[in-house]
Structure 1
Amino acid sequence: MRDLDLTSLRLFAAVCETRNMARAGEQQHIVASAISKRLAQLEDTVGVTLFERRRRGVIPTAAGEILLEHARAMLAAADRVERDMADYGTGIKGQVRLLATVSCMAESLPDDIASFLQVAEHRDIRVTVEESLSRDLVRSLREGSAPLGICWDAADLEGFQTRPYRSDALAAIVHPEHPLASQPDCTFEQTLEFDHIGLPGQTAVHTMLARAAAIIGKPMAYRVVVSSFDASLRCVRAHLGLAIVPREVVEPIYASVGVRVIPLTDSWAQRRFAICMRDEASLSPAARLLVDYLEQKAAG
């Protein structure tokens, strides 16, 4: 197979996403006939048919879907090379890209990274952090489009190398007039008697709670579903229901928000987070420094 051309791969990915050469051309600022010629050359290079032509556009074949996965990883890697080289041109001597779940970003990770960057030896390192759902984070690591991630250690981390990070504990957040507000703690089962404020179905917290409710054999009654912890607290304050969120997110501000924090006594409510990577030996020196620092910071 001859060398693959990144421009052709970028056009190929655009056509896969839009299912239409004309729309892909508008997106990539190139005429559809030029895209068609590029894709014909790409099919000749790989030796297989990549698209099925249909009346209203095109769809990738099974081989095209496989190539699309590789193309996305290659394009992401090329973009990282471009960013890294640009950073060296401006004097930055290392760059680390880190994916982290919503809980990590809402708790201690921003402060830990800030303190890492304040160390004199790290002044030439740039850390970029992207918030991600656990499943998307794991997929990005497997595809090689990101070198590092931090997520709940109950995620599908098979095949990854991991280091321990921090932990948190889930709690029921309730309005001061809620029936549970006077209790020092409660079980998750007790909360199922009341309306909940939920997070989207793709989040780790939602998945954990749905699994626990299924084991108990009682349904969860969601009155509101919101996209963030902040929004769930506003709904609790409005007396729309209770929310199950990490105590560490709420405790610094609960007094000012006007809610009560009721710890859950269930064993699974104690969560641990892990720093995960495909191969620690392949990490850049800057990334290894960050991993070591975060592990030590959490242990301390």
Structure 2
Amino acid sequence: MPPRSTSSHRIDLVRRIDLTTLRLFIAICEEGNLTRASQREAIAASAVSKRMHDLEEALEVALFERHPTGMALTPAGESLLHHARVTLLNVEKIAVDMAEHARGVRGHVRMLANLSSIVEFLPDDLPGFFRSHEMVRLDLQERASAEVVRGVEEGVAEIGICSADVSTRGLERFSYRRDRLVIVVRSDHPLTRSGKVTFADTLDYDHVGLFATSSIYLRSQYTAQQIGKSIRLRVHVPGFDAVCRMVQAGMGIGLIPDRAFEVLSHGMGLAAVPLRDDWADRELVLVARDPAGLSATSHLMLAHLRSPSVSAH
């Protein structure tokens, strides 16, 4: 029999891989065991086993290492797991989009954004867009900056907003907004008498830190290491409001953007001490995989967030 051409093999492969098989494959990966996966998906174990055998045959690779206690992924299996999750996520997006069109919604934008942009800027920047596009819906999810980049790369969202400090790899990036980090202290704290301080000046005090993967915490940790000190971290918290509350409670001092302090600190008896460090002046950027390939509604959103009327705020 003559060998199949690459194109005919791809067509045959597409026909032989179905969504149910991909869902079962993911279930085995997550459960680590075919029997538990079959119980979870309410399909006979023999049928699941047959599907996995046919899948490996279609792909012409081994996806699992089979052991008495369970199944472990091969490198090829790890690669397929990534693609399978993205595929099922895209199918879910199709279902959501079609349901919203059925309800009269005329477009859907998916965006990932870091905490800073969600607290400081998007509440001011989004209303103008929705006044002009009332039938558009926005799915906005908060992620750490590095996770924003990864999510846009993997197709979880079309647009992202993250700190310019993180590597945006092959994504297109556009300047969005700027802020400046400040040290949050109680109004009776000794640092309030200093005017401006360096981050090094703060390391003799207990700190309330943001979650460990936030770009703000990572940058502060790196700075401390560079000067041969460590941060006296009392507690990690998930957001800027929690930083302010912990500082108010006497748990330490915190590092947050100036605009977030203005929004969140009213009536709390707190003060913001400016930082002298150059890195405290931050840029936030918009990222997208291919601006020309965005959906029409996402393209409108990106254009709005890049507009002079937004950046001038």
TM-score if structure 1 supplies the norm length? 0.94
Rounded Cα–Cα distance in structure 2 between residues aligned with 1:148 and 1:294: 10
Deviates more, 1:86-95 or 1:14-23: 14-23
Is 1:205 aligned to residue 216 of structure 2? yes
- Unaligned stretches of 5+ in structure 1? none
Cα RMSD (Å) of the superposition?
A: 1.5
Change (3 A) 1:20 1:110: farther
Q: Deviations over 1:176-233 (max 9, x none)?
A: 2221123322111111111111122211111111111112221111011122222211
Partner in structure 1 of residue 125 of structure 2:
112
Number of aligned residue pairs: give it: 298
Instruction: Name which one, 1 or 2, has greater alpha-carbon Rg.
Output: 2
Given that residues 173 and 236 in structure 1 are in contact (C-alpha distance below 8 angstroms), is that contact kept between their aligned partners in structure 2? yes
Q: C-alpha offsets along residues 46-104 of structure 1, whole Å, 9 cap, x if unaligned? A: 11111111222111111100111111121111111121111111111111100001111
3-state secondary structure, aligned to 2:25: helix
Q: Which residues in structure 2 correspond to 1:45-124 (within 5 Å)?
A: 45-119=58-132, 122-124=133-135
Say which SS state the counterpart of residue 180 (structure 1) adopts: helix
Partners of 1:32 and 1:112 in 2: CA distance: 52
Percent of residue pairs bearing the same amino acid type: 38
Write the mapping of 1:1-300 to structure 2, written as runs, cut at 5 A.
Answer: 1=9, 2-3=13-14, 4-119=17-132, 122-296=133-307, 297-300=309-312
Q: SS where residue 179 of structure 2 aligns?
A: strand
5+ residue gaps, structure 2, are 1-8
Alpha-carbon distance, 1:135 to partner: 2.0
Quote how far apart the aligned CAs of 1:288 are: 0.9
Name the stretch that deviates more: 67-76 or 276-285: 67-76
Cα pair distance change 1:29/1:229, threshold 3 Å: farther
Question: What displacement does 1:244 show?
Answer: 0.5
Does structure 2 retain, via aligned residues, the 8 Å contact 1:254–1:261? no
Retained in 1: the 8 A contact 2:33–2:71? yes
Q: Do the aligned partners of 1:197 and 1:232 also contact (CA within 8 Å) in 2?
A: yes
